Structure 1
Amino acid sequence: MARKIWVFDTTLRDGEQVPGAKLNQFEKLEVAQQLKKLGVDIIEAGFPASSTGDFHAVKEIAEKVGNTNDIMITALARAVKSDIDAVYNSVKHAEKPLIHMVLGTSDIHVEKKFGKSKNQILDIGVEAVKYAKSLLPDVQYSTEDASRSDFEYLWKTIEAVVKAGATMINVPDTVGYAEPEEFGNLICRLNDRLKNLNDQVLLSVHCHNDLGMATANTLAAIKNGADKVECTINGIGERAGNAALEEVVMAMNTRSTLYNAYTNINTQEIMNTSRLVSSFMGLDVQVNKAITGENAFAHSSGIHQDGLLKSRDAYEIISPIEVGLDDMELVLTARSGRHAVKNALEKLGFDTFTDLQFEEIFSGFLAMADEKKEVYNHDLYIIVENFFNENNLSNQAGMSENFFELMDLQVINNTRPSASVTMKKGDQIFEASAVGFSPIDALYSAIMKVCQIDAQLTEYNISCISRGTEEVGKVKIQVEFREEKYTAKATDADMMKASALAMINAINNIVVDHLVPVR
């Protein structure tokens, strides 16, 4: 029978320790509400002894998110009375509060960090658990730096704090030192002893990613008896981060027969949670990151696209729909093969070309792909129209008259930013100007005046590549139109031009879907 694995999310505590990622009280509450929707079992809402603001944020989360029996709210304390009091007074408002405390067990921590003997540290831990237990029934004890601790001393500590009343034992690989086989063996040995001591106590792990093995170590722990895993969204956290919740959960789901375990996570909320955390913390997700990276379900290789179109499981072990995305994305680039281009054309209604005609169109596609990097549906219309015109084929021209093209732009950034654009649609030339609260706002307002399409900008990302005095800007945007989302990109040495081209790509995609009839 499959075991339930508890999911403890520490995005709002360990994740927030990333430099520059500090959240305000409103943002912490929003993330906590999304974590509840995601289905985590425990939210570690902060470190209330660290500041008055953090105390109040934890208290509000306990009151407004922890107001039901389906989730526990906790916060971190050192093994000192004042910290434990701060946790208790902030989380006690939840239906299911938990006190979480941490104290080192490795020689490095005991001797160099604390400057005390092992017996002194053990006694401090036991007394702290006894005190916390007098306040709340649920207490978690974390043996910091467990993976570098002497095993018998580590077990002696665990045995003592369990007898003192701890209901959860957390075994951290605090500095990401462990490797999967070694860590799995440690958890196996601890689990065997702990279940013989008290089988009601949950055994938990908290793995860091300094050597890139946090997820692997966490999964090894599950295989060897861990009852609970501590993770963060997108794997954020101190230094190289923590085990990524989405990676651990989807590995268990995808390889369910291997792990024989499950979680209560609603996987379709994974992407919503990832984007919310990334947006609030200002931490971009690595594009090729597993599960939540921009390219995790995007395919541009012609070989892969061909295989996917023949059978999804050829190159896709997880459906993007499972994690809250739309269906798979076949990105048309110069590396795309004939199968992917033909498939995209057929979706637009172009399915009657002979093999020779298609080869000519494909050549036009490759030429545009080399120039534009990424080819969109409206580009395909233009490629096809050029083919029709060059071959004097009647009744097929005129599609490009629906699309917008940038001719010129001017952006002035002063106390009241302004922008003017000149754009072309078919044979018509349009000019418009606008002011805004920022140069981009002014630029996009001017473009919208020309296009007359009520699309709302929901995401704007910019990156810059510099080589000496040369600089190339890459812009990615997302807009919403009639409750549908459209993503587009553009690259140019002029950042404002790249921004304008990205918006026009998005607008033209909307035109394809809503204003151009399929043949």
Structure 2
Amino acid sequence: MNQIQAGKYRPYPQVDLPNRKWPTKTITKAPVWCSVDLRDGNQALKNPMNMTKKLELFALLLKLGFKEIEVGFPSASAVEFDFLRKLVDDKLIPDDVKIQVLVQAREHLIAKTFESLKGVKKATVHLYNSTSVAQRKIVFDKSKEEIIALALEGVDLVKKYEKNHDGQIFLEYSPESFTGTELEFAAEISNAVTARWGISDTRKVIINLPATVEMATPNVYADQIEWMANHLDNRENVIISTHTHNDRGTSIAATELALLAGADRVEGTLLSNGERTGNVDMITLALNMLTQGVDPQLNFSDINEVLDVVERCTEMVTHARHPYVGELVYTAFSGSHQDAINKGFAHRKTADDNFWEVPYLPIDPEDVGRTYESIIRINSQSGKGGVAYILENDFGYQLPKAMHPEIGKLVQAVSDEKGEELSSDEILSIFKENYFEIKEHISLVDFTLTSTKGKSTCTLTYTYCGEEITVNGEGNGPVDACKDALMKNYKNSFTIHSYSEHSCGDKSSAKAIAYIEIQTDTTLSCFGVGVDNDITVASVMALFCAINRAYN
């Protein structure tokens, strides 16, 4: 880039981890999930949530299956304090859910926090202080020793107030801005905290290692997590937690690699709400696991409800391309994509197993509560297969494959002219206009048929050049007999190239639909469509439709 002063930016240092093991690992189980929507997400909103919105979002988190929820910073504001008290007083916290609260290492704040927790059966007190080089140097002007002392003072205060709390208290400690902290110092302060707490197999500690600011590539974060896992005392009793932000746009990858590197727990938000570019998106993480055959232990089977509640509570709009939940993520406009998806669904109907294998769709939309109705949408980039898909799936017209290019061109011409996406109803309208509402130079009036010994005899009445004509014909079937009768007076020659039919609708009200392709001296292929309760009549109607389209 131009005019950037030399030395203004420098590469992030790599981790000396020659025997790293995480690259050979796979994610085989869900982590412990902790939602921080009500705290980290809420503090990042232009208009923080009121009590009603907080309660609605809390109820959603419970419904989704979260067992650990950071509800706020109750010592920092009356709204946060009152919300937690509302949850307790109205008995809204299930017995199997652990509430988490954030607090700094100051006695009056910790005292206020325990006041808010009165009556909570299981709570995690999340203690933090900044440990990064930049924070120590620029913000606090403190030495490493002073930073450790501050953390230990916080632990001592939590232990002091824990004694009088009627319920279980768990400790979480975050060396804030971990990614900007020397690994040796991060391990030193974390080990000092766990030792002061009295860590054991019955008194485990969460060590949260946040990418408070995402500063390097995801592999570096994974190296940091594995390095810390190798240098934390009493590792078997430490729950390593991640809390990634998305400054570089790779929080998902960083978290996934951190899980490979030994992390046990993930903090994040729904739809990536959070400071700056947001926290890691729990929905994407969970559904990524689902697509790999891992049960995420969270229920996103109604993604539309999640989207509705989160957008209403946060007043944040979700991007149309947001993974798994965006309006357009299960939509194909490209003709080649549409064709592949269409074939993928057709393949599933005859597949031997339940394995999801549809091109361009990494997850079955129905698994997250989306329908197939909007998978294929039509604009000027769309192809013949997409139009045929919509006509079949939305309206029941199973067009023969040879007809797809014809209808595709008709629809694309309209889309090109309008310069915008066409709705399903608009596509149906184009189809009807070109096959059911055509200008006729020859019109069917009546048709009767008798069949004996494989031979069909018909009486055909039609109008042509202003004259009504009745004539008989014979053939191998209804269409052949009709053509024989028609050609005794009709002057335009044609041959029947293909024929197909199907029924549409419930048995009691099913319609017969016929498709006939003809070839003329000037047209290699022209289709006609006929619809009637009687398949014989529908076939004859399709023939007349094709003739009118070819010679108009």
Question: TM-score, normalized by length of structure 1?
Answer: 0.70
CA distance in 1, matches of 2:269, 2:53: 16
Please, which of 115, 118, 127 is the counterpart of residue 89 of structure 1? 115
SS in 2 for 1:330: coil
SS in 2 for 1:76: strand
Deviations 1:421-480 (A, max 9, x none): xxxxxxxxxxxxxxxxxxxxxxxxxxxxxxxxxxxxxxxxxxxxxxxxxxxxxxxxxxxx
State the aligned residue count.
390
SS in 1 for 2:428: helix
CA RMSD of aligned residues (A): 2.4
Say if 1:353 and 1:335 are closer, same or farther in 2 by CA, change over 3 A.
Answer: same
Q: Is the 8 A contact 2:104 2:129 kept in 1?
A: yes
Partner of 2:410: 364
SS in 1 for 2:432: helix
Say if 1:21 and 1:368 are closer, same or farther in 2 by CA, change over 3 A.
Answer: farther
Partner of 1:170: 208
Deviations 1:24-75 (A, max 9, x none): 0110010011011111221111122221112111322355575322211112
Partner of 1:378: 425
Deviations 1:312-341 (A, max 9, x none): 521111112222322362112222211121
Say if 1:265 and 1:291 are closer, same or farther in 2 by CA, change over 3 A.
Answer: same
Partner of 2:388: 342
CA distance in 2, matches of 1:88, 1:321: 44
Task: Identify the range of structure 1 (1-10 vs 336-345) with the bigger mean alpha-carbon deviation.
Answer: 1-10
CA distance in 1, matches of 2:146, 2:97: 35
Counterpart of 1:240, as a letter, is: T
Counterpart of 1:144, as a letter, is: E
Q: Is the 8 A contact 1:271 1:324 kept in 2?
A: yes
* Deviation at residue 169 of structure 1 after TM alignment: 0.7
Q: Is the 8 A contact 1:145 1:173 kept in 2?
A: yes
SS in 2 for 1:48: coil
CA distance in 1, matches of 2:251, 2:405: 48
Q: Is the 8 A contact 1:41 1:264 kept in 2?
A: no
Deviations 1:184-208 (A, max 9, x none): 11111211233x5241221101111
1:42-81 map, 5 Å = 42-64=68-90, 67-81=93-107
* Deviation at residue 275 of structure 1 after TM alignment: 2.6
Q: Is the 8 A contact 2:128 2:174 kept in 1?
A: yes
Pair 1:321 & 2:369 matched: no
Pair 1:137 & 2:169 matched: yes
CA distance in 2, matches of 1:262, 1:351: 37
SS in 2 for 1:219: helix
* Deviation at residue 391 of structure 1 after TM alignment: 4.3
Pair 1:284 & 2:353 matched: no
SS in 2 for 1:137: strand
Task: Identify the range of structure 1 (156-165 vs 131-140) with the bigger mean alpha-carbon deviation.
Answer: 131-140
Q: Is the 8 A contact 2:380 2:419 kept in 1?
A: no
CA distance in 2, matches of 1:262, 1:244: 17
Please, which of 24, 29, 41 is the counterpart of residue 15 of structure 1? 41
Counterpart of 1:90, as a letter, is: S
CA distance in 2, matches of 1:325, 1:70: 30
1:23-422 map, 5 Å = 23-64=49-90, 67-134=93-160, 135=162, 137-165=169-197, 167-194=205-232, 196-256=233-293, 263-311=296-344, 312-327=357-372, 329-347=375-393, 348-351=395-398, 355=402, 359-370=405-416, 371=418, 373-387=420-434, 388-392=436-440
Identity of aligned residues (%): 28
Instruction: Give structure 2 stretches of 5+ with no counterpart.
Output: 1-26, 163-167, 200-204, 345-356, 445-552
Q: Is the 8 A contact 1:45 1:61 kept in 2?
A: no
CA distance in 1, matches of 2:401, 2:64: 50
Task: Identify the range of structure 1 (318-327 vs 31-40) with the bigger mean alpha-carbon deviation.
Answer: 318-327
CA distance in 1, matches of 2:234, 2:148: 18
CA distance in 2, matches of 1:129, 1:264: 32
Say if 1:2 and 1:129 are closer, same or farther in 2 by CA, change over 3 A.
Answer: same
SS in 2 for 1:288: coil
Write 1 or 2 for the structure with the bigger share of helix. Answer: 1
SS in 1 for 2:358: helix
Pair 1:5 & 2:37 matched: no
CA distance in 1, matches of 2:178, 2:282: 21
SS in 2 for 1:75: strand
Say if 1:334 and 1:45 are closer, same or farther in 2 by CA, change over 3 A.
Answer: same
CA distance in 1, matches of 2:131, 2:216: 15
Say if 1:83 and 1:270 are closer, same or farther in 2 by CA, change over 3 A.
Answer: farther
Question: TM-score, normalized by length of structure 2?
Answer: 0.66
Deviations 1:293-314 (A, max 9, x none): 2111111111111101111521
Instruction: Give structure 1 stretches of 5+ with no counterpart.
Output: 396-519
Q: Is the 8 A contact 1:8 1:42 kept in 2?
A: yes
CA distance in 2, matches of 1:249, 1:275: 19
CA distance in 2, matches of 1:394, 1:376: 31
Say if 1:226 and 1:62 are closer, same or farther in 2 by CA, change over 3 A.
Answer: farther
Counterpart of 1:137, as a letter, is: I
Counterpart of 1:159, as a letter, is: N
CA distance in 2, matches of 1:63, 1:51: 18
